Each structure stands twice: as C-alpha cells, then as structure tokens.
Amino acid sequence: MNKKGEISNFEYLMHLNTVAGRTYNDLMQYPVFPWILADYHSETLDLSNPATFRDLSKPMGAQTEKRRQMFMERYAEVEKSEAEGDLSAQCHYCTHYSSAIIVASFLVRIEPFSHTFQTLQGGFDIPERMFYNVKKEWESASRDNMGDVRELIPEFFYLPDFLLNSNNIHLGGAWRVLYNITLISAPASFASGFGERLRELPSPPVDRPDFRVQAAGTRCSREHEHIPSLLLCPERPAEPQRPHHQEHYAGIRQQLWPDSQTKLRRGPVGQIVCLEKEVVVLERNCLLLSPLLGCFFSWGFPDNSCAFGNHATGKIFAVFEGLSDWGETLCAASPNPTTVVTAGTSTVVCVWDITVEKDKVTCMRLRQLLYGHTDSVTCLAASEVHNLIVSGSRDLTCILWDMEDFSYITQLTGHTASISSLAINDLTGEIASCAGPLLYLWNMKGQLLSRSQASFGPLPHILCVGFTQHHEWDPRNVIVAGCADGIIRIWKTEYTRTQLPGPPEEPVSPGQNQTERDGNGWERHLVLCKELSRRQSASPRRYKNSPGVTALAISRSHATLVAGDAWGRVFTWTCE
C-alpha cells in the first residue's frame, strides 16, 4: 500500500511500530522514527539530491565509514578479550536507539514530559547537554559521539509545538531549536522507495545475528533481555518487574521480516521436542503440553502464577493464579496432555488436571498433593508408560510416586548435592538422576545400579540428562548429559565380573570345576565414552565463559542429537 501511494510514509511507519509492540503509553517502548535528513547546513534543501537524506540502509552508527570502522573495531576487541564467546559482552553499541530518557529529552518542553525528564535525570542538566538544536543532535548521533545512536520520535513529523517552550519552563541558556522537515515533502521518486530502504535496516541480534554483525548493528544485550510475553495478556493484574538495568530502556521489538537464517532465542533453552516433521524449542520455564494443538505451559513469573500459550504464535491465551498458593514454582512435567505436575519451594509436588482446547483452557483443577520432601523440589520427570513420577530435591533425595494412585513408592538416597536433573527410560524404566557433577542410575524399585566415578580434577555440574531409546536390547543405547561447561558427555554401561562371597573352603568334588563352585557375579558400571563440544581443540580456559548445555533431545530416527544452551542457541550432532 505504501508503494502504491495508498498510505503515507508516516502511516506506514506507525503501522510498523504498532506491529512491533511499540506504543505511546510506554516511554520504554515509544514509537521510533528514523532520521531522514542529513543536510542541516544548506539554506535551501535540494530534495532531488540523495545526499540530502540519511542512508536508510545503515544504522546510525554506520552513517560514516570512519565511525562504522570504529564500532567494528570495538566489536572485534571484545571478541578477542577474556570475555570471548560471551554474547552479553559482544556488541557494537553500548547504548540504545530509543529509551525513556531519550524520549523525555526530546519532549522536555511540554508536560508531563518535563516532570518525567526531571525524575529520570534528577533535575535539568546544563543547557549544552540537553536537546536544543536538531543539527547538533544529528551530528552527535551520526558522527561525533560514540555513545549516541539515537533515532527520532513521531512528534518530529507532526507536532512542531514540542519545540517551543510555551510553558516558560526555566531551562537556562539560549534555546533555539531547528525544526526537522518531514519525509512527506520529499519527491515521489525518493519516497516511493522509502519502504524498501527502511526494510533494509537490520533486525535485532536475536533475530538476525550474522547480518547484524556485518552491518555494525548489534547493541548492548540489556536492550534484548527477555520481557515475559505475559505483558501482552490484558487479564494480567500487574506487570512483572523488570531487571534494574531495563527500567529506563526500550524492550526488544518483534521481528517484522523473518528470514531463513538461524535464530537465537531470547533466553536459555528449557525443552527440545523432536516431532515427526519439526523440532520444537522452548525457553526455560516452558513446557510443551500438546504438540497437536501447539499449546505450552509456562511458569516462573514474579507473582508465582502460570500461563498457557500457543507455541506457533507465541501468544498467551490463559493465566492461572491458583499456582501461587504453593509458593514459587521451580519445575514442571507433563506425562500427557491432560496432566501437569508442578513443584517448587513449598516442597509439595502438585498434580493438576487440565483441559485445553484450541487456544482455550476450560479446566485446571488440583488433583493430588504429594508430600515427602523436606526442601525445595528442583526437578521432575514423569512417564505415562510406567505410571511413574520422580521428584528431585535440594534435600539430596529423589522420591518415586505411583501415578495411578499417587502413592509413595520409594526414596532414592545417597546423593551428595542438590538434584539438578532427572530422566526416565520409557523402554526399561531405569531412572537417571544428576547431583552436581555425578550421574546415578537406578531401577524402578529404587536400587542403585551404578554411579559415575569422580575423575581427576573437578568436573562441571550436569544440567540436563536423557536416554537414547532405540531398542531395549540395543547395547548402543547411552545416557547423554549436558554440562555447565558447554560439553555434552555420553555414558554407556558395561558389565564386569565380580567375586561374590561364597561358603567356606571345601574340597572340590570329582568332576566339579573350580569356577562352577565360586560365586561369580556381574556388576554394572557407567563409563564415559565420548565428549561433544563445539570447540574440540580449545583449551580449558576458553570454556570459562561458555554457556552450559541446558536441554537435550534425540530425533525420532535416532540419527540426530539436538542440544540447546544457556544463550538460547540450538546445535545438532549426527549420531554414528
């Protein structure tokens, strides 16, 4: 419509801001408009000359080649430093193109923004450091100031009153402001291509990371901290608190033009589900309930509530506050689409019956409370095949529960640290529990089958664990563990012959072999057989800032191992 001239450039930009979730009601996500003019020296503007206008194919930090090179050098220096690989440290700009203080500084001459500016800034600054001249602002944001890459606000294009001190606010100094010309007055030959040039502006790094690095467009990571999508839910009574560094900065906008490049998620990967035709990746504190409906369950909000959403659209369609009666939720599991098991700081395991239709929850009812732990429950696993729930706690134990009548079965003791991860083998019923760097293997009766041995030197903690389950009889089945140092460790089980205590020495009767008389048995051992890392040749020092492996999954064909890490990245390995 913009190309056809059916809507103006202003309307087009407002539509983009609205789709991206920006609104006049939130200074932290205020609508953003780009700088248009680059010529603030000429008495008369030549609108037919492309040099009159800002290069819309580049961000503000790359408007001049010299400045672009300086930002690229900054990015390269961070990449080579000790923080190498730390995505939170690598950026071109340690500032933002929009924030509450930027908006308030532009609108400082009108209320309520005068009061807002003083609240954020602690009073008015000296005149030379406040907004008083459009030409000076352009030179600062496009050329002179490495800490300034701000864009404009919509008022520059329709509200000249904000440039006048009509309220006679005592700002100090001489306040002469040059008004900016809107793009609406640009010739049709330039304006007709405006949408294409604007579309070339880079997307946020979580959407198009490689493109942003090449275009000198990555920003400080705090601009892209995850803001819970429940903010979009109108039924929610209160907005979740944001981290302190986000208090006056804009939140991440949604990607408007997706592409086929690898996409980084906003937070640590919490679950990976390999379906028949796709792999579903969810963030931490999210759990896929129904692959058919694409429904997910999420928790971990400041008010201890939970929510249900559509994975395909990312939208929340129901919020349930009854979960808050049981303290902070730390973990959840779902053996089937109609059952959710939750637990956390209350030490109680809660079993819920739910009914989810298309984007609608018709029922969430507490079915059973399971008491047994004496400290916070940190992880859960559930198997519908074996009617089994396993809960792991900071009290250094795991408890097995019968899912049919919700009765206590047994307790797994002997762990030396808080339980960090659990998994149930649907083929054999064996249970893997992880405590610190150690891996334990149990049967369904609660008998310890094996435990990994501590090796030389400290080992990183295990964050997630899973079984390969090709065939019950297949000796190639292994246990896969994701660790805090970013390495995936694969364990297999081996049997060794052991000498069992036998009766007192007696003479060997004729025809009896000595080995037949001895009490020989077999003992199962966990053996570390392989380590997978994206940096096989790297020294241990380089793992200092590597993200831990937080989620694992095996494809249905058992040909691919999928892993997600604490930076939201997903990698795959081909199984041999």
The full DSSP string for 465-524 is EEE--S-TT-TT--EEEEETTS-EEEEEEEEEEEEPP-PPP-PPPTT--HHHHS-EEEEE
Of 308-322, 400-414, 431-445, 497-511, the poorest mean pLDDT is in 497-511
How does pLDDT run across 151-169, given as a tens digit for each residue?
A: 999 999 888 888 888 878 8
Quick one: CA dihedral 151, 154, 160, 166, positive or negative? negative
Question: Domain extents for the chain?
Answer: 9-216, 260-495+523-535+542-574
pLDDT above 90 as % of the chain? 32
Q: How many distinct helices (H) and strands (E) make up the chain? A: 9, 25
How does pLDDT run across 473-493, given as a tens digit for each residue?
A: 666 789 999 999 999 999 988
Give the pLDDT of residue 365.
Answer: 92
Contacts of 44 (CB under 8 A, 6+ apart): none
For the residues 136-149, what does the mean pLDDT come to?
Answer: 86
Q: Which amino acid is at 381?
A: A
Give the pLDDT of residue 503.
Answer: 53
Question: Whole-model pTM?
Answer: 0.55
Count the Cβ atoms, other than its own, within 10 Å of residue 508.
11
Count the Cβ atoms, other than its own, within 10 Å of residue 396.
17
For the residues 33-56, what does the mean pLDDT come to?
Answer: 88
Count the Cβ atoms, other than its own, within 10 Å of residue 520.
12
Q: Largest Cα–Cα distance of the chain, in whole Å? A: 120
For the residues 21-26, what does the mean pLDDT come to?
Answer: 88
Surface-to-core class of residue 552, CB atoms within 10 Å of its CB (0-12 exposed, 13-18 middle, 19+ buried): buried
Give the pLDDT of residue 286.
Answer: 94
Tokens of 468: 């390969």
For the residues 66-92, what does the mean pLDDT come to?
Answer: 67
pLDDT above 70 as % of the chain? 72
Phi, psi (5° rounding) for residue 569? -90, 155
Give the pLDDT of residue 90.
Answer: 62
Q: Which amino acid is at 284?
A: R
Position with higher pLDDT, 414 vs 507 = 414
Give the pLDDT of residue 483.
Answer: 94
The whole-angstrom separation of Cα 217 and Cα 180 is 25
The whole-angstrom separation of Cα 144 and Cα 191 is 28
Tokens of 249: 């900065």
Which helix (H) or strand (E) segment holds residue 315: the answer is strand 315-320
Is beta strand 419-424 parallel, antiparallel or unpaired with respect to 407-412?
unpaired
Length of the chain: 576
Domain 9-216 fold: Neurobeachin; Chain: A, domain 1 (1.10.1540)
Of 70-84, 118-132, 218-232, 316-330, the poorest mean pLDDT is in 218-232
CATH of domain 260-495+523-535+542-574: 2.130.10.10
The whole-angstrom separation of Cα 362 and Cα 308 is 11
Tell me which residue has tokens 């986000």. Answer: 246
The whole-angstrom separation of Cα 148 and Cα 142 is 8
Give the pLDDT of residue 472.
Answer: 64
What is the DSSP code string of 439-471?
EEEE-TTS-EEEEPPP-SS--PPEEEEEE--S-
Residue 190 scores a pLDDT above 50: no
Average pLDDT, the chain: 77
